[in-house]
Structure 1
Amino acid sequence: MRAFADGFVALLLPVYLTALGCNAVQIGLLASLTLAGSAAVTLSVGFLAHRIVPRLLLLGASLAMALTGLAFAGFSDFWPLAVVAFVGTLNPSGGDVSLFLPLEHSLLAHAVADRDRTALFSNYSLIAGLVGALGALAAGLPDLLGALLPRLEAIRGMFGLYALAGLVVFFLYRRLPVAQADTAIAHTPLGPSRKRVIQLAAVFSLDSFGGGFLVQSLLALWLFDRFGLSLAQGALFFFWAGLLAAASFLVAPRLAKRFGLINTMVFTHIPASLCLIAAAFTPSLWAVLALLLVRAFLSSMDVPARTSYVMAVVTPPERAAAASFTAVPRSLTSAAGPTIAGWMLSLGGFAWPLLVGGGLKIAYDLLMLFMFRNVRAPEEAAKSVLD
């Protein structure tokens, strides 16, 4: 439900703000505020996760999601929307960067043995990717409903649908088994793994900063402005991109089992970033879309591998705190990217955000390989001993 809602909101956000009279810089600023707000809330969870049961936090976040949708459907001025973007759950990236993610990761990590953890997170990401692709396709509904409703009102209705999804998620979370979600897992603040988590968070911050230049809302805005892509065409493209990203989650655990988690993260990520850089210099729409589709397939393989790696290299009681602390840079440092990217797009048609974002991500991959190539997950260490 969350992935479906995030899928259409990420595409509708730049269209909605443009219809309200916002420019590229304002759209980038609002996207930055959403990411900064998510980072602040997620960091708070990192401090409090060992004191408050995860189920209650998930229920509170669901209500915040419903209120965010209602506020965006009701407000028309930029600054009220900016405030809601900061305190709410809106996601301009098309991928999950909210409070929900570290809480769910910490619960899921305890559900299976070490050898099955990467496959579990691949399935988790696969479901989110498939449904997120359907959400992106649903972003074309306002154009299809043009004969029945004014376009602006149809988009407002989609934000109402986002609010409804938040309520449905609330009632689904209420069905979580209390013994599993609340009492079975002992959560503690960071302790023995603190140094390693800080190192991971620092490296992830570079990747997040690069990713901030490439949030889906601004990538869509560039395609709309540079190539005249319609909302319906953009929805169709991001639908296929989402399907390819989801398909990659089926491949990721096999690669991780064969080559290791770090190698899977790095050597799929670098070609994806090279596709981004190439797209910045490509004048043909079809060639750009082809490069972005290849990038969609390759760039997401590190998602389940990275999640599994973080859960593997900390002690089980620290997992909730580690998930929150390593998730924070994905929002906090990426929050600066959309504002800078919006300013870059306002200067002209060249895709500076793709060039800068791709270069930063390659730097992250090389740094990750250098720092953590010898830090293995338990199942990898066991396999090495057996070999």
Structure 2
Amino acid sequence: MLLPAGAAPEARLLLIGRALRAFTDGFIAILLPVYLLALGLGTWEVGLISTATLFGSALATLAVGQWGHRFPQRRLLLAAAGLMCLTGLLLAGLGGVGDFWPLLLVAFVGTMNPSAGDVSVFLPLEHARLAESAQGEARTFLFARYTFVGALCAAAGSLATAIPHALTAAGLAQLDALRLMFVAYGLTGVAIFVLYRALPDHHVHEQAAAPAPLGPSRGIVIKLAALFSVDALAGGLIVNTLLALWLFERFDLSLVAAGQFFFWAGLLSAGSQLAAPWAARRIGLINTMVFTHIPSSVCLILAAFADSLPVALALLFLRSALSQMDVPTRSAFVMAVVTPAERAAAASFTAVPRSLAAAASPAIGGALFSVGWLAAPLVACGVLKIAYDLALWHAFRRHGEAAP
């Protein structure tokens, strides 16, 4: 993978690792509700398991922020890869009658990702390593490349949802076909473990600034974390798992068609993330985040009331073309406004409230679906996100102009 000028070679390993994880996330987020419904669980249980996943990721990320600076980042990344392997294999092995609580436990402690973005414990660790791999504008481009690779590979992964359908058509039982996909998720964790073994150990080679807990930047990080939590609370209402469920319930969309939708939506999202650094160069990081996010939220609200599938898909495609442009700019902004030694802690402490806030939302969204209020999660998500964007712009627009 090509790196931005000035980026360290180790960034290529991180980009490949992100690509592998995103590919598996792309099909797991769509197959998860199908798998759980096939086991006899309801829409509320689907939401609860998504909530457990996000809440567990939040606690793991908090632990990284609080105590991760005591350990080599490479060792923590290897541990996360091992946990990913166990998550996939355990989910594939469960699924019998009465296995809801074991499934909930695995979702809580594992690395499964039901959302469009990356919410796992990998995120703060990889962000800290990426921030060390480039400086200034090159860092923004590197984060854009990181999120672009993730979005592109997640889009490709969504097409893999056709594999269980093909296996079922060939005579394999549906549950067995779905379990094979979770096995593939676990084996990807093994591949990432091997890949990250090649990363240099920064506790062996002297660093310019050793990782440290939050200090001078604590105030601005807390303010950002509070705002990001509102955005995450909104996004959790309609994570990819629940968006797929909405399409299944609202328009009776097939699994193969849903996979195709998420593929094209992912491509639009990936392309927009590549454009984000150029937009940030011209109008600033904060303006790029806000002025692309608000129109995407309006599209989501309108999609909730669409009376035909083509109209709904068109609005959701337009949303996908805009909604993720804030991801690389947000990451670059956080890394730019804290000291180098605080970056790992800042990445964790801005990610933790996002995960905690998002953790409750899928259960709420699933409950609303279960009582027939199919439009409510989409509308609530859009309204909350618009409120977040306006508050962020008001609080940090001057920082955005000055941030490198």
**Bin for the TM-score computed over the shorter chain:** over 0.9
Are 1:306 and 2:330 an aligned pair?
yes
Asked if structure 2 preserves the Cα contact closer than 8 Å seen for 1:25 and 1:342, the reply is yes
What is the Cα deviation at residue 37 of structure 1? 0.2
| 1:51 pairs with 2:70 | yes
- What is the aligned counterpart of 2:31 among 4, 12, 17? 12
Residue among 96, 101, 104 paired with 2:123: 101
**C-alpha separation in 1, matches of 2:201 and 2:223:** 34
1:70 aligns with 2:89: yes
C-alpha separation in 2, matches of 1:192 and 1:159: 43
1:222 matched to 2:246? The reply is: yes
The structure 2 residue matched to 1:159, chosen from 182, 201, 211, is 182
**How does 1:222-301 map onto structure 2 within 5 Å?**
222-301=246-325
Secondary structure at the counterpart of residue 178 of structure 1? coil
Could you list the per-position Cα deviations for residues 165-221 of structure 1 after superposition, in whole angstroms to 9, with x for gaps in the alignment? 000000001011224897425101000000110000000010010011010000000
Residues 93 and 217 in structure 1, CA contact (< 8 A), matched pair in contact too: yes
Q: 1:260 to 1:181 in 2, by over 3 A?
A: farther
Deviation at 1:46, TM superposition (A): 0.3
2:111 paired with 1:89: yes
1:139, CA displacement in angstroms? 1.4
Task: Give the Å deviation of 1:4.
Answer: 0.6
Aligned to 1:384: none
Aligned to 1:2: 21
Partner of 2:142: 120
Match of 1:330 in 2: 354
CA distance in 2, matches of 1:356, 1:238: 22
Q: Deviations over 1:116-137 (max 9, x none)?
A: 1111101111111111111111
Q: TM-score, normalised on structure 2?
A: 0.92
C-alpha contact 1:114 1:378 (8 A) present in aligned 2: no
1:140 maps onto 2:159 in alignment: no
User: Could you tell which deviates more after superposition, 135-144 or 268-277?
Assistant: 135-144
Are 1:27 and 2:46 counterparts?
yes
**CA apart distance, 1:378:** 5.4
Secondary structure at the residue paired with 1:65?
helix
Counterpart contact for 1:312–1:377, Cα < 8 Å: no
Offset of 1:94 from its aligned partner?
A: 3.1
Relative to structure 1, the CA distance from residue 285 to residue 215 in structure 2 (aligned partners, 3 Å threshold; closer, same or farther) is same
Q: Deviations over 1:284-341 (max 9, x none)?
A: 1011001001101100000000000000000000000000000112211001110000
Conserved? CA contact 1:313–1:376, under 8 Å: no
Query: Match of 1:353, as an amino acid?
Result: P
Count residues with an aligned counterpart: 380
Stretches of structure 1 lacking an aligned partner (at least 5 in a row): 381-387
| C-alpha distance in 1 between matches for 2:91 and 2:54 | 16
- Rounded to whole Å, the distance in 1 between the matches of 2:374 and 2:75 is 46
Indicate if the aligned counterparts of 2:265 and 2:317 stay in contact, CA closer than 8 A. yes
The answer as to whether partners of 2:211 and 2:344 remain within 8 angstroms in 1 is yes
2:72 and 2:203 in contact (8 A); partners too: no
Q: CA deviation at 1:55?
A: 0.4
Runs of 4+ with >6 A deviation: none
Q: State the distance in 1 between where 2:311 and 2:129 align.
A: 42
> Alignment partner of 2:168: what SS?
coil
Could you tell me how far apart the structure 1 residues matched to 2:249 and 2:205 are?
48
What is the CA–CA distance in structure 2 between the aligned matches of 1:201 and 1:241, rounded to whole Å?
28
Structure 1 position 376, deviation (Å): 3.6
Q: Quick one: distance in 2 between partners of 1:346 and 1:252?
A: 37
Q: Aligned Cα RMSD in Å?
A: 1.3
Give the residue type in structure 1 aligned to 2:53: T
Opposite residue 265 of structure 2, the aligned amino acid is A
Q: Tell me, yes or no, if the aligned pair for 2:55 and 2:356 is still in contact at 8 Å.
A: yes
Percent identity, please: 57
Does structure 1 residue 366 correspond to structure 2 residue 385? no
* Distance of 2:203 and 2:46 partners within structure 1: 41
Q: Is the 8 A contact 2:333 2:403 kept in 1?
A: no
Amino acid paired to 2:134: V
**Distance of aligned partners of 1:217 and 1:155 in 2 relative to their CA distance in 1, 3 Å threshold:** same
Q: 1:91 deviation in Å?
A: 0.6
Amino acid at match of 1:120: L
TM-aligned CA deviation for residue 21 of structure 1:
0.5
Residues 107, 181 of structure 1: 8 Å contact kept: no
* Distance in 2 between residues matched to 1:353 and 1:180, nearest whole Å: 45
- Is 1:37–1:88's contact at 8 Å kept on the other side of the alignment? yes
Q: Tell me which residue corresponds to 2:16.
A: none
